[in-house]
Structures are given as structure tokens and as C-alpha cells.
Structure 1
Amino acid sequence: MPQKPSIPKGTRDFSPAEVTKRNYIINTIKKHFELFGFQPIETPSFENSETLLGKYGEEGDRLIFKILNSGDFISKVDDVTYSSKNSASLAPKISDKALRYDLTVPFARYVVMHQNEIEFPFKRYQIQPVWRADRPQKGRFREFYQCDADVVGANALLQEVEFIQLYDAVFTDLGLNGTTIKINNRKILSGIAEVIGARHLLVDFTVALDKLDKIGVEQVKTEMLERGISEQAITRAAPLFSMSGTASEQLDQLKDLLTGSEVGMQGVAELQEIISTVEDVGLASAHLQLDVTLARGLNYYTGAIFEVAAPEGVAMGSIGGGGRYDDLTGIFGLKDVSGVGISFGLDRIYLVLEELGLFPDDLDIALDVLCLNFGQKERIAALKLVSSLRKFGLRVDLYPTDTKVQKQFKYADKRGVPYVILLGEKELAEGNFVAKNMKTGNQASYALDNPSQFVQKMT
């Protein structure tokens, strides 16, 4: 007996209705990417391991899917390495490629390889799947799409302001009013690590801090201790865990905390400029909020960082995030190329729109008209009519066989088709066709040689 098929954990099949809804989100995001002047690129689904490893921190490296070398890969492993059963030493010998973890590092590689073809500043967008060996849970999958926009070659803080506006425009268009765009600056976190005496443990500090909203203050403190950050340093950082008030008031508190840290004060100044400019230009529906505990655990961020939270009342993690990375291309040999970018979490946005009932009702309609099939003689005329209606931009199909009319009507009803066309022997002899409104039951006749009258009726 054949084994029942299955799919890997953290992956999904998508029905036609689900794909239609996903495309609705993608097309909305893509529209605004292009309105803001971004150009599309695509990169391979897998990269050389050396391109990806070491770019996302220790935790990120563990989540990268590695691809086994083709052929008899194990024969090339020496006995000592093989018998050691050490995955860290074995992996490079049996795998030199990996599925991409995100779109940002491949983009940096793309910029370096195509630097002589690119006009800087270069604004690109990319909508492709990525893979992470994460533990599957609600809103988190092992295969998922990212929708990224980045600018490289310009270090003006105007870019950060533009990305905040882009988030606002997309989520407003999707009907997600009331999203919160959280902002912080990695220079502030670097400054805090410096003033508390944990400068050498910046990565450990930010990785632990990034979990604050998930595990709470006490567990974050425990993790910091486990990562080697002293109790005295954690006590010095304590004001960070409970900072409150307006953005201006929090920035004033940060100035006091960061006295003596040049990089920290620079981060405060950058945030002041960004927040002030956004307040001047205004946002349509989103709220900009300073969150001094926002860390985003990826190592390559160097300046402003963003994270977008769904409207209040929706239990969902971040639906977008990003930040500035002033020297990401430097890891591939191209120095001093600043960059900043954001990403939209397609799958989580889908779940939020579904929960709030924000998908347009007409998305479920995949076919505007179904032409019934009455037999060989009528079929030729029906095909000609179908072709004519498609030229008007209508989504039209002809039922493939001349089975019972009742069965064809039932098919149209299950597909949710608004109109059904009847073109039988009688209609053919009279030179017309009958269009039936499946919702009201009303029907009318139209001339076969002038289907535009029917099209006008529909629109």
C-alpha cells in the first residue's frame, strides 16, 4: 500500500483562494515599492555557504539550511573528522551551499558583483522565498516569502524617513490602520553596552535584549548573566527596561544614561532628526514609537532599526522590520557603501488580514463568466464568443464537455461565477446568447456579433 504523502514541517500548500489573497498583498506592496522608485531584482534560492555563514550571528547560523554536496560526498571526509562526529568540522566538508536565510545578505553580494552596472544610490526591491530551520509556530514557518526594499549608496537619514512613509502607505492601503512602527538605533545600544562596561559583549547584550517582549525582564537578565554580562552591568542597564514617556522625554533620559559615549549620543541625535522629520510630514494611519529596548538580533545593523507591530488586539509578532547597515557590502570587499532597508512579513500580514476580515470580498471570484457547453455545433460559436469576451479583459471559461446543463450550473455555483452564458441551438439560430446573473437569477439576450453590450452591462 502506498505511503500517505506529506510535506516537511514548517512548509505549506496553498489553495487557489490562498494564493489569490497572497497575491493581493504582494501586488499592494509591489505597487508602493514602485511608487517610491524601487527597482526589482532576483537572486538564486541558494548561495555559497561562505556568502551566508557568519553574517547573522551565532543563532542565525544555526538556522541556515545547508545543502549536501552532490555525488558521494561522504567519501571525501577523512577518517578523523568523520569519527569525531563534530558537526562544525564535518559540515564544511560535505556542504558548500545553503538556502538563503534572508534577502539582505544576497543583495549585498549582488551589489558587490554588479557594482559597475549599478547607478548609485541604488533602490531595489525583491520578493522571493527564504528558508530558516526554525521551530514552526503560528506566524513562523521554515519556508516563507520576504518582501524587501533597500537603498544603498546614500547615507542621508531621509532614507529612514522614506521607509517609515513606505510602511505607512502599504499598511494603510491594506486597511491595517493603527499599526505601530517601532524605532531605535543600534548606536544607542552600542553606547549603553559601552557605559555599562559590556562593550565587548555587545552581540550577547543585543541578542538577549531583543527577547524582552517575548520572555520578560527577569528572564532577559538571566540570559544576560548566562552570556557573561555581569550583574553590575545589568544593574546599570536597568533604566533601559522601564523607560517610558514621549519620544522626546525618552531621548532626554537616554542622553543622561549615555553621557560619555560618543557613539551613543550620535544615535540619539539621529533618532531625534528622524522622529522630528516624520512628525513634520505626518503619517496616514501608522504610529511611530520609540522603543529603546528594540534590538533586532542581526549583527549587520549599525544605525536606525525598525519593527512593525500589528494593530492592537491582534496576537501576532512583528509584521515588518529592518534598519541601517552602513558597511554590509564590506564583508564582500566593497567598503564604505551605506545601506538601509526594510522587509514586510507576507505570511504574518496574511494572518492579520484574515483575522480582521480585511481581504476584499471580490477576491474569491476567480472567473467572471462561464459559458455552458451544449455540444459540438454550439461549441465553435461559444469558443469564438469566449475569445471575444477575453479581449475585453473578462475572465471567461467554456465548460469542457457537453454534460448535463444542471451539472454545469452546479459547477458555476461552486466556483462563485457571477454570470453564466447559454448558447444553445435556439440562441445560435437567432444569432444571440443569453447571460444569466447567478445571484439574482435575471437573464437577458445579447447579439453574438456585439458582445460589448453585455460587457457594458457587467461593468
Structure 2
Amino acid sequence: MNKPTIPQGTRDFNAATIYKRNYILNTIRNAFQLYGFEALETPAMENIDTLMGKYGDEGDKLIFKILNNGLDNPAKQAEVTAAFQKVLEGKTNKQITERALRYDLTIPFARYVAMNYGQLTFPFKRYQMQPVWRADRPQKGRYREFYQCDADIVGSNAMINEVELAHLYAHVFNMLNLPVTIKINNRKILAALADMCGGAEKLTDITIAIDKLDKIGIDKVKEELQQRNLTATQIETISEFLKIQGTNEEKLNTLSNSIGNHPSGKEGISDLQFILAQQTTGNPLPLEIDVTLARGLNYYTGTIFEVKAIGYNIGSIGGGGRYDNLTGLFGLPNVPGVGISFGVDRIYDVLEGLDLFPKQLIKCSTVLFFNLGKDESNRSFTLLQTLRAQNISGELYHEPAKLDKQFKYAEKKGIPLVVIIGSKELAENTCTVKQLATGQQVTFTQSDLLNYIATLESGL
């Protein structure tokens, strides 16, 4: 018999992990609602035409395609074989696959807005917290199935939306006690750089290469740019651009001197200046201009964000930006939008690695009733239901067993209180409660159990 396994890049979550993940998810959800976003969920699968061509060539390769039903029909074998050959050549064929697992939450959101435009109130602020799937190479901090938590605002060009999202990022990570740097750049600046290096058609080639800088280094980026037919002079211009350093103010001055006369570059610099100027007195945002930030997805058009944890090397734990043309992909032009995403799985890894999770997250049963016989367990179960009715968690040991075995069960599960009702207690209408942490044991009437447990629980 083969040893059971799970697909590479996926994980099982035990109770302790789920409590920690819910701590992150609830923190993010509360912040979304605090900032006026409303909830949305979309299907796990989308029509393949909805997804393909929206993420660039690199992203399209990572989309998990779903095989159609009925491919085993003998009458269709010849057609299916020919269609599979086209799929193997990298083409999408509707005879083989018409649907795919969602790659992110942004494109499904744009599809939703296009389908429901007449029923929405704009600006439309939505949040979405669901898993996504990518056929990526699994490694530390990179999974094939993972959660995204997105907040987006569509129907508004106002730059205050970018400011709101920057504050939303800062709020969440402050609530998680996780120090971060929120890196910002602007695609208009990169568009100006592309224009200086041969034209707007070079933007995608440049941003895809720059987006890999942290992973492959500047020399490999130069090689990739050369492979994308940029000249040595153009590559040197890009290389010098990527070396811009200093404070935010110094970087803005350098950018103004280098691309400030270009219309697109001037707009991008102005956008960054606006965001940096909107700081809360006494509580500045951890914003840092990073000219190397590119965000490889094609749909970004303005400000872009990326969040990095301080003191833990794992890549970005959040990202996003403005995408003013996204719904145009679905026949609905001129709907501006901006959004951010939280990488829950990487945030989990960082909090775990830095030991930042609160110590009292795991919620086990408060009380275990021992099972010491049929009549005794019946009385215990009645009392247990009385506790549960008052929102006190508990359980009854599943079968009669020696005391030692039931004590070990409570200890392994971290249950702090045990209630013992044996034949003597049953006859006298009493019960014995023992605190496992201290060994303290008290016997009193069963009618007083609820008040006693409620008093103890408040101090557990």
C-alpha cells in the first residue's frame, strides 16, 4: 500500500495552526470592515478566458487548468487526442479545458464588477478572503494553494484611496505587532524609463526583468534585458536607475532630475509626493520609495505597493497597486481601481518565525467530565449540556475507563478542569472539580457547578 501524501505545495492544518491563522484572518477582516469595505466571494474556478492573458506570459504558465468532463468518451477519442496535442504545445483548447482555478482575487473581482456594474454603488469598496492556486515551484514561503486577503476600491481616481490603503496596511501590521516596511513606487515612473529606453512597448519586458531583481541579482537582470533585445546603452540606463538610493526625499530629487521632464515620470513623482505628504501626526507610516519595485503583473498603471517584514527574510507579505484599465478587459472601460493584498501564509510564517503569536490562542475545552459508568455519565452529560448552554465549552469522555487514562486525555488536550461524578457523588448529588494545573480539588453540590465553573473560567 502506498504511503498517503498530499500534493506538493499544499498543507494540512491542525487545530493549533488554524487558531493562529484565524487570529491573522480575523485581524485583517476587522480592519477591512473598520475601513468601510464590504465582503465578496467568487467561485474557486473561473472560465479560462476570464483568466488567460491577464497576468502576462509568466503568469499564464502558472494557471491551474481543469479538464473538461467526458474526455473518456470513446466516440470523442480522436478529437480529444488531437486537442491534447495542442495543449501540449502550450495552447488553450476548449475541447480539453474551459475552466481554471483562480490565480488571484483581482481578476475575478474585475469580472464581478463588469457583470454587476449597474447594481453597485461607486466608489465600490470590497474585501475578499479566499484561497488561490498557482502552479508554481514550491519553496519556503511559496505555495501552490494559499490564501489572499484583498481590499479594492473601484470607481474613483482620487489619490486619497492610495493613502487609505497605505494606512490600512499599517493598521493591520500594527495590530499584529509585526514591524514592516511598506515599499512604494509608481508604474508611470517605470513607463517613463521604458520610453527613454526605446518606447512604451518595452515596459513589460523591463518590469518583468526588474521584478526578479531580488531573486536573481542585477547581473542576471541585465542578461534577461539583453535577451529581450535591449541595447547595451538602454541596459546601462536601467542599471543606473536601479541604483537610486537615499531617503525618500533624496530619491524624489534624483527621480525629478532624471525623468522629471517626462510627462509620465512627472505624474508618477507627483503621485508619490502626495502619498508621502498624507502622514498622521506623531504616527508616520513606514513608507519607503523603492525604484526597483515593479510588480510584474501587466494590469498595474499607477502607484504600486509591496510590504516586507523587518527582521525576517521571506519576500513580500503584501502587495498591490492601481489598475485603471482592468475592467476594460471585460468590456467595461474607464473604471479606475486600486487595491492591496495580504499574503496570509507568509504572514503566518513570519509571526511564527519571530514568535509573535499571542500565547493564549488555542481554544480547547474548558472542562472534561469523566465517564465512570452508565448512570454517572448520563448525569454528567446533563450537567455538560447546562454548561454548554451558558457558552462554557466541554466534553464527556467517550467511554467508561480508568481514572488515569481519562486524566491523561485531559492533560494531552490541555483541558484545565475535570469533573468527577462517581457512584458516591451520584448518590449524594455532588461532584468533584479538579484543576489540573494546581492539583486543587473541590467537592460541592451539582446545582452549584455552573457558578463555580464560570468563576474559574474567568481566571483560566
Q: Deviations over 1:352-371 (max 9, x none)?
A: 11111112222234222111
Counterpart Cα distance in 2 of 1:91 and 1:319? 35
Deviation at 1:392, TM superposition (A): 2.6
Quick one: structure 1 residues 85 and 426, their matched pair in 2 at CA, closer, same or farther if it must change by over 3 Å?
Answer: closer
1:54-453 alignment runs, 5 A limit:
54-72=53-71, 75=77, 77=79, 86-89=88-91, 91-176=93-178, 178-278=179-279, 280=281, 282-283=283-284, 287-312=286-311, 314-450=312-448, 451-453=450-452
Quick one: structure 1 residues 161 and 85, their matched pair in 2 at CA, closer, same or farther if it must change by over 3 Å?
Answer: closer
**TM-score computed with the length of structure 1 as normaliser:** 0.94
Quick one: structure 1 residues 433 and 78, their matched pair in 2 at CA, closer, same or farther if it must change by over 3 Å?
Answer: closer
DSSP 3-state at the match of 1:362: coil
Conserved? CA contact 2:71–2:96, under 8 Å = no
Code of the aligned partner of 2:275: I
Conserved? CA contact 2:87–2:93, under 8 Å = no
Code of the aligned partner of 1:75: Q
Counterpart Cα distance in 1 of 2:85 and 2:273? 57
Counterpart Cα distance in 2 of 1:84 and 1:25? 43
DSSP 3-state at the match of 1:136: coil
Conserved? CA contact 1:210–1:293, under 8 Å = yes
Counterpart Cα distance in 2 of 1:85 and 1:42? 30
Conserved? CA contact 1:198–1:229, under 8 Å = no
Code of the aligned partner of 2:69: S
Conserved? CA contact 1:82–1:90, under 8 Å = no
Pair 1:33 & 2:32 matched:
yes
Q: Tell me whether 135-144 or 163-172 shows the greater mean CA deviation.
A: 163-172
Report sequence identity in percent: 50
Counterpart Cα distance in 2 of 1:76 and 1:323? 46
Counterpart Cα distance in 2 of 1:455 and 1:185? 56
Conserved? CA contact 2:366–2:457, under 8 Å = no
**TM-score computed with the length of structure 2 as normaliser:** 0.94
Code of the aligned partner of 1:60: G
Counterpart Cα distance in 1 of 2:247 and 2:127? 33
Q: Tell me whether 46-55 or 13-22 shows the greater mean CA deviation.
A: 13-22
Q: Deviations over 1:413-459 (max 9, x none)?
A: 00011111112222233333222111111122344223123202320
Counterpart Cα distance in 1 of 2:246 and 2:154? 34
DSSP 3-state at the match of 1:204: helix
Quick one: structure 1 residues 457 and 279, their matched pair in 2 at CA, closer, same or farther if it must change by over 3 Å?
Answer: closer
DSSP 3-state at the match of 1:334: coil
Q: Tell me whether 156-165 or 365-374 shows the greater mean CA deviation.
A: 365-374
Deviation at 1:92, TM superposition (A): 4.0
Q: Deviations over 1:328-378 (max 9, x none)?
A: 111111111111111111111111111111122222342221111122112
Code of the aligned partner of 2:441: Q
Deviation at 1:52, TM superposition (A): 0.2
Counterpart Cα distance in 2 of 1:84 and 1:143? 27
Code of the aligned partner of 1:344: F
Quick one: structure 1 residues 456 and 105, their matched pair in 2 at CA, closer, same or farther if it must change by over 3 Å?
Answer: same
DSSP 3-state at the match of 1:139: coil
Q: Tell me whether 183-192 or 233-242 shows the greater mean CA deviation.
A: 233-242
Counterpart Cα distance in 1 of 2:36 and 2:78? 49
DSSP 3-state at the match of 2:21: helix
Quick one: structure 1 residues 10 and 85, their matched pair in 2 at CA, closer, same or farther if it must change by over 3 Å?
Answer: closer
Deviation at 1:296, TM superposition (A): 0.5
Conserved? CA contact 1:180–1:288, under 8 Å = yes
Quick one: structure 1 residues 82 and 29, their matched pair in 2 at CA, closer, same or farther if it must change by over 3 Å?
Answer: closer
Code of the aligned partner of 2:152: D
The corresponding residue for 1:13 is: 12
Quick one: structure 1 residues 82 and 298, their matched pair in 2 at CA, closer, same or farther if it must change by over 3 Å?
Answer: closer
Deviation at 1:54, TM superposition (A): 0.5
Counterpart Cα distance in 2 of 1:182 and 1:8? 34
Deviation at 1:58, TM superposition (A): 0.5
The corresponding residue for 1:47 is: 46
DSSP 3-state at the match of 1:130: strand
Counterpart Cα distance in 2 of 1:402 and 1:361? 34
Counterpart Cα distance in 1 of 2:393 and 2:444? 18
Quick one: structure 1 residues 358 and 79, their matched pair in 2 at CA, closer, same or farther if it must change by over 3 Å?
Answer: closer
Quick one: structure 1 residues 103 and 90, their matched pair in 2 at CA, closer, same or farther if it must change by over 3 Å?
Answer: closer
Quick one: structure 1 residues 299 and 389, their matched pair in 2 at CA, closer, same or farther if it must change by over 3 Å?
Answer: same
Q: Deviations over 1:91-147 (max 9, x none)?
A: 443111111000000011111112222211111111111110000000101111111
Counterpart Cα distance in 2 of 1:281 and 1:99? 44
Conserved? CA contact 1:210–1:296, under 8 Å = yes
Quick one: structure 1 residues 272 and 424, their matched pair in 2 at CA, closer, same or farther if it must change by over 3 Å?
Answer: same
Aligned length: 454
DSSP 3-state at the match of 1:367: coil
Quick one: structure 1 residues 35 and 80, their matched pair in 2 at CA, closer, same or farther if it must change by over 3 Å?
Answer: closer
Q: Tell me whether 199-208 or 259-268 shows the greater mean CA deviation.
A: 259-268
Counterpart Cα distance in 2 of 1:134 and 1:322? 20
Q: Tell me whether 251-260 or 183-192 shows the greater mean CA deviation.
A: 251-260
Conserved? CA contact 1:365–1:416, under 8 Å = no
Q: Tell me whether 383-392 or 347-356 shows the greater mean CA deviation.
A: 383-392
DSSP 3-state at the match of 2:117: coil
Q: Deviations over 1:49-102 (max 9, x none)?
A: 000000000000000011111102763738766667752346443111111000
Conserved? CA contact 1:446–1:454, under 8 Å = no
Structure 1: unaligned runs, 5 residues or longer = none
